[in-house]
Structure 1
Amino acid sequence: MKHKKIARLAARQVKRRVDTSFDIPRTKVRVIGIGGGGGNIVAEIASRVSRVDFFAANTDTQDLKKAGAKVRAFPFGQKLTRGLGCGMDAGLGELAARSEKDRMKKLFEGQDVSIIIASLGGGTGSGAAPVFAQAAREAKSLVLGIFTLPFEFEGKKRKEIAHSSLEKIRPLVNAYTIIPNERIFKTIEKTTPFPQALSILNRKLADSLEGLIDALYSPGLINIDFADVRSVLEGRGRLAYASAVAVTGPDRAKGALNALFANSLHEYGVHGADRILFHLAADKNLKMQEVADVSRGIFSLNPKARIILGITLRPEFKDKLKVMLFAVGCTEGREPEVKKEKALSLREIPSGFARSRIARRSGREPKQKLRIAQKKARLRRATAGQAKRVKKVLVIKHQEKKEEIAERTRKTALDLKQELDGKLQEIQEEEKKWDIPAFLRVKIKR
């Protein structure tokens, strides 16, 4: 009996040693909100997103007290600002950050991904954000920037400060997203109170960030790890599109795709992205057809893009499908809308004539479009034949014209010769009429 207990204890010890030997290092993500606006956004996100570290960095010590229990304060530049804000002086914000850059680097050391959030247009966020980004890069951390731009009613000067800061930040981050505050009017009613409107904006940001962090930390059928995130974020100053939606209902795959691409916070779309990461989370009833529909919709954005898929099953979702999309390499401006194709079934599609018949049945090649295409082709052929005939007629007319000119020229020369001969003949006739002088007359001897 004693020997059996010892054997069981030994087995447990061996199991513990074996299990710990396969521990995978946890990806370290740190989110830093800079300035008053960035701190407010981080405070909103921290209440919903776990497993990452949150910091609020500010020169205003009074404002840091509002950060919340889950957000750690990082005051800086106290000697320059005396614990106050920077107003709209971006130069002062930059000096305050540079005065404590060595301390700032320690904030990013050992972090795999650093997410910098700032509301550009003010003094602290606009001036200090480029310095924080530079410190994170020097600490060998991948840097993702999330930046909001001021409202139109905040004035032209604040807008100029924001864009100037953005130009400095671009080469210092791997990727960044831009969210103009003005876009919130696309989401809210006119009667929405101002604090509530800002909260809605922060919640939408939290949805996207929560989706990305969940994809990184949630084990599932198909995992997304730090290596995947690193491959998407490699490079510098690339525009990114982030969106996360949760939908229910029988046609939830289609609803998720429509909501993903219609993110009202961005002024640009997914057009041009060459690196795409997307993650699906649902309960055990997630259908293969739904995975196929969402995947096909995302693959259609750019078939040549590097695309990474993750899938996680979460029992608590109960008929809910959550899709997160993170695309890098986007171009500014909305792309033209394309007609959505009807989804195909997962049955094996034969090749050749059978495939074309199925495509026509599914709406890809309607008979009406086929007739229009054939009519256009006939018209092009007829136009080409008519053009050849017209060209031939023109060549013939040109040749006839040349011959006519040549004939006219030849006839004119003959007329001149005949006129000259006539003149000579007249001269000879006149000469015959002249009398020959006596001394020139010569008698002909017979």
Structure 2
Amino acid sequence: LYAANTDAQHLLTLKAPHKILLGRRVTRGLGAGALPQVGEEAAREVEDELKKILADTHICFVTCGLGGGTGTGGSAVIARIAKEMGALTIAVATMPFRGEGKMRLENAEWGLDRLRDAADTVIVIPNDKLLEVVPRLSLNAAFKVADEVLMRSIKGLTEVITRPGLVNLDFNDVKTIMKGAGVAMMGMGESDAPGDERILEAIDQAINSPLLEVDISEANAVLIDVIGGTDMTISEAEKAAEEIQSRVSPNARIIWGAAVDPAMDKTVRVMLVVTGVKSKQILGKPTERRFKGVGEVDLVR
């Protein structure tokens, strides 16, 4: 786990085992000033160091908050290097709250375009949707919820690869779904309803994620991971695959797996990764886009 930032003081507060100061020459440890081009230049400054870190890496998760300078400008540079080094590169990015201002949103959209070009798959978490889920939270608390959602997304994917199951999913299964996949949705659902209702309820929760409105009917591929207690049957896991198949294109590739977790007594959890989705928040790459918040800047030398 590596934490990277242009802000040296912020890096000192983090508990990550490894830290990278981006742009020592460009920003002198003072941050990117909410300028994406500065963040981009700062990441390029440590390109050789990043290549050494990413050597022999099979899968790389790049997490960032879009809208400011470092995450918006630097994340695509890191993702591009990881992909060029041969790693399956999955970006998980948060979009800013409306209250953060128009310029941060425009910066975020600019950064998302670049990140989509650089990574194999981009999973986007729109912070504004959090306001619908937990509207009474303070801004600081809402940011913590966004971080929790981001963490759960990555944890869910890594467990798919590392956890043995009744029907195993492995790295190659994830690679099949997410290599060059573009924009993806990741949803999770959990239910302890009686009988067959629980698997259907968990599927509905996973598909109808309140954090991202998507249309999965034309999805290119779906990865399904079903986890349940010792009472879960193989037919329940198969039911999940059948139910998802009925909601997507007949041509969509579907890969599914199932695992038992004794701690989940009488409960099932479904995780979906759906690629090729359409979303109100992610409309696809524009042919031309220019943002007022993103222009030429003079870098500190």
Q: TM-score, normalised by structure 1?
A: 0.60
Q: Is the 8 A contact 2:237 2:257 kept in 1?
A: no
Conserved? CA contact 2:66–2:93, under 8 Å: yes
Matched residues in 1 for 2:81 and 2:144: separation? 30
Deviations 1:260-307 (A, max 9, x none): 011111132423211111111112211344224322221112232111
SS of match in other structure, 2:227: strand
Q: Structure 1 or 2: larger strand share? A: 2
User: 2:185 maps to which residue?
Assistant: 241
Aligned counterpart, 1:151: 97
Q: How many residues align structurally?
A: 278
The alpha-carbon distance between structure 1 residues 71 and 193, as it changes in their structure 2 partners (threshold 3 A), is: farther
Structure 1 position 177 matched with structure 2 position 123 = yes
Cα deviation, 1:136-175, whole Å, max 9, x if unaligned, reads 1121111111111111122211111111111222121111
Q: Matches of 1:96 and 1:169 in 2, distance apart? A: 16
Q: Which of 55, 62, 67 pairs up with 2:14?
A: 67
Does the CA-based 8 Å contact 1:271-1:331 persist in structure 2? no
SS at the partner of 1:235?
coil
Alpha-carbon distance in structure 1 between the residues aligned to 2:84 and 2:152: 29
Write the distance in 1 (CA, Å) between the matches of 2:147 and 2:17.
15
What's the % identity of the aligned pairs? 30
- Greater CA radius of gyration, 1 or 2? 1
Corresponding residue for residue 35 of structure 2: 89
Match of 1:200 in 2: 145
- 1:308 corresponding residue in structure 2: 255
SS in 2 for 1:315: coil
TM-score with structure 2 length normalisation?
Answer: 0.87
**Taking CA–CA contacts closer than 8 Å with sequence separation of 6 or more, which of the two structures ends up with the larger relative contact order?**
2
Q: C-alpha separation between the residues in 2 aligned to 1:64 and 1:178?
A: 24
Aligned match of 1:285:
231
Q: What corresponds to 1:228 in structure 2? A: 173
Distance 1:299 1:275 in 2: 10
Cα distance in 2 for partners of 1:182, 1:320 equals: 30
Name the aligned partner's letter for residue 152 of structure 2. Answer: D
User: Deviation above 6 Å: which 4+ runs of structure 1?
Assistant: none
Q: Within 2, Cα distance between the matches of 1:227 and 1:178?
A: 23
Alpha-carbon offset, residue 235 of structure 1: 2.0
Cα 1:269–1:66 shift into 2, 3 Å = farther
Query: Where does the alignment leave 5 or more consecutive residues of structure 2 unmatched?
Result: 282-301
Match of 2:285 in 1: none
Structure 1, unaligned stretches of length 5 or more? 1-53, 335-446
Residue 121 of structure 1 deviates from its aligned partner by 0.9
Return the alpha-carbon distance in structure 2 between the equivalents of residues 291 and 126 of structure 1.
39
Give the aligned residue type for 2:265: K
Task: For 1:245 and 1:65, locate their aligned partners in 2 and report how far apart those are by CA, in whole Å.
Answer: 36
Residue 324 of structure 1 pairs with residue 280 of structure 2: no
Q: Distance between the aligned counterparts of 2:138 and 2:101, measured in 1?
A: 20
- Cα distance change of structure 1 residues 66 and 248 upon mapping to structure 2, 3 Å threshold: farther
Contact 1:55 1:73 in 2 (8 A): yes
- Give the structure 2 partner of residue 213 of structure 1: 158
- Structure 1's 239 and 140: CA in aligned 2 closer, same or farther, altered over 3 A? same
Once the two structures are superposed, the pairs formed by residues 380-395 of structure 1 within 5 Å of their partners are none
How do residues 123-142 of structure 1 correspond to structure 2 at under 5 angstroms? 123-142=69-88
Q: Is the CA contact (8 Å cut-off) linking 1:179 and 1:267 kept in structure 2?
A: no
Contact map agreement 1:269 1:333 (CA 8 A) in 2: no
**Does the alignment pair 1:101 with 2:43?**
no
2:125·2:150 contact (CA, 8 Å) conserved in 1?
no
Amino acid of the structure 1 residue aligned with 2:88 = L
- The separation in 1 between residues aligned to 2:215 and 2:14, in whole angstroms, is 32
Q: Secondary structure at the match of 1:316?
A: coil
The AA in structure 1 aligned to 2:141 is Q
Per residue, is there more helix in 1 or in 2?
1
Aligned to 1:117, what secondary structure does the other structure show? strand
- What residue is the counterpart of 2:287 in the other structure? none
**Contact 1:208–1:324 (8 Å) recurs in 2:** no
